[in-house]
Chains A and B, each alone.
Chain A
């Protein structure tokens, strides 16, 4: 378990803000980290998508400060093993997307067919989405079907390559976002840049071209906690 955080902006990402969010998200453990960057092209599409993974703790000096409009990150503190192999570092990739996940799944073994040879429970989530996409399902339905099947904590960002949309959803584990129009900030831990808690069991889509976060679906979930 870990933290997810990031910045998506029409302007160039402010790395000072990114590091501020990153340091905040090391509170829950910091053994390795990974992130995805991208730069907006002239037609509002994202070019030069790169993924960086480190098997060392999150540190400013380990982040390549490129001119970018999008940076989606994950800091890892494994719940079942201390091993920090590069293959176990988020984000994970399948043909149609990238995913990072904060949380712990209880029934991942029941869905092992979704990601052959998986080593991290989070791979089951992206494997499930890809499996449903391969069956011809539309992306929101693929997320719905996957998220609803899994028992446990989910705070996820998913970058859908074909449509260039960013999706968020959560069960138990939090995701806080900003309400600023030009820039979207998100974080597992509340910060003045990201202070609004997304609703549980709701799928949100962020459109780069429209710079807006909208609810696009919902799914059934179970939580052992009662809270307001």
Chain B
């Protein structure tokens, strides 16, 4: 009986160490992966989604970074057949141009919003977590994402976790450890963890160089400027 209890405890500790992390290949999710592996010492199963994005530069970065950190079980899930569901987004539709930062300022749901994407991705990551026997699913939402995306808010996270409490066998939570971090805070942490930001991609446009004018470039550039360092990526302007 005692032996059984010890095994159960070991089992729990093991599950505590297992985690699933959604990584896109951008600054936030790659920093998150480094944080989970290096700082939290977790056994991370990363998951990346191909969902019909205009470019897959980020995905290449995600693969490289996962490999670098020894996450051999990186799952790259092909959801390109979901593209029609997301066709209203400028990240997907070739008919919709990627807006510059000034065009989306103050817009509660800019053209780069992907319909219900985070809910869908998190649901799939939760399924993966059940299979991997992980207790936590991580994603890289940060403080300022909430300006444009309802599915990055603390309220969204809390509501979703409430739903997953209904699971009768697997106790899994969704965690967004950077939800109170600015991009600058994320960058600072990543630099401490030795992240090579030359191996991340943020720009919504998938050109040879980052555009420097879309919302995510503007945010990335500000983070580097705040720390008075140069972004290793090349910019068109």
Contacts and interface: CB of A to CB of B under 8 A. Distances in A.
Interface of A: 1-2, 28-29, 77, 79-80, 102-104, 106, 152-153, 155, 172-174, 188, 197, 223-227
Q: Which 5 A-B pairs have the closest CB atoms?
A: A173-B106, A1-B108, A226-B222, A225-B218, A226-B221
27 contacts: A1-B106, A28-B109, A79-B108, A79-B146, A79-B150, A80-B155, A104-B146, A104-B147, A106-B146, A153-B105, A155-B106, A173-B106, A174-B102, A174-B106, A224-B143, A224-B144, A224-B183, A224-B184, A224-B219, A224-B222, A225-B105, A226-B218, A226-B221, A226-B225, A227-B100, A227-B101, A227-B102
Interface in B159-196: 182-184
Interface string B105-133: 11111000000000000000000000000
Contact of B108 (A77, A174, A227): A77
Contacts of A225: 101, 105, 215, 218-219, 222
B107 A28 contact: yes
Contacts, number: 63
Interface string B211-227: 00101001101110100
Contacts of B150: 79
Contacts of B225: 226
A173 B144 CA distance: 13
Chain B contact residues: over half helix, strand or loop, or mixed? helix
Contacts of B100: 227
Contacts of A227: 100-102, 213, 218
Chain A contact residues: over half helix, strand or loop, or mixed? loop
Contacts of A224: 143-144, 182-184, 219, 222-223
A104 B105 CA distance: 11
Given A227-B101, A227-B102, A227-B218, 13 more contacts: A28-B107, A79-B150, A104-B108, A106-B143, A152-B147, A172-B105, A197-B102, A223-B222, A224-B143, A224-B182, A225-B215, A225-B222, A227-B213
Contacts of A188: 106
A172 B219 contact: no
Contacts of B155: 80
A173 B106 CA distance: 4
A153 B225 CA distance: 20
Nearest to A225: B218
Nearest to A222: B182
Nearest to B143: A106
A173 B101 CA distance: 11
Contact of B105 (A2, A106, A173): A173
Nearest to A79: B108
Given A106-B143, A226-B222, A29 B106 contact: no
B213 A103 contact: no
Among B100, B105, B150, B153, the most chain A Cβ lie within 10 Å of the Cβ of B105
A226 B146 CA distance: 18
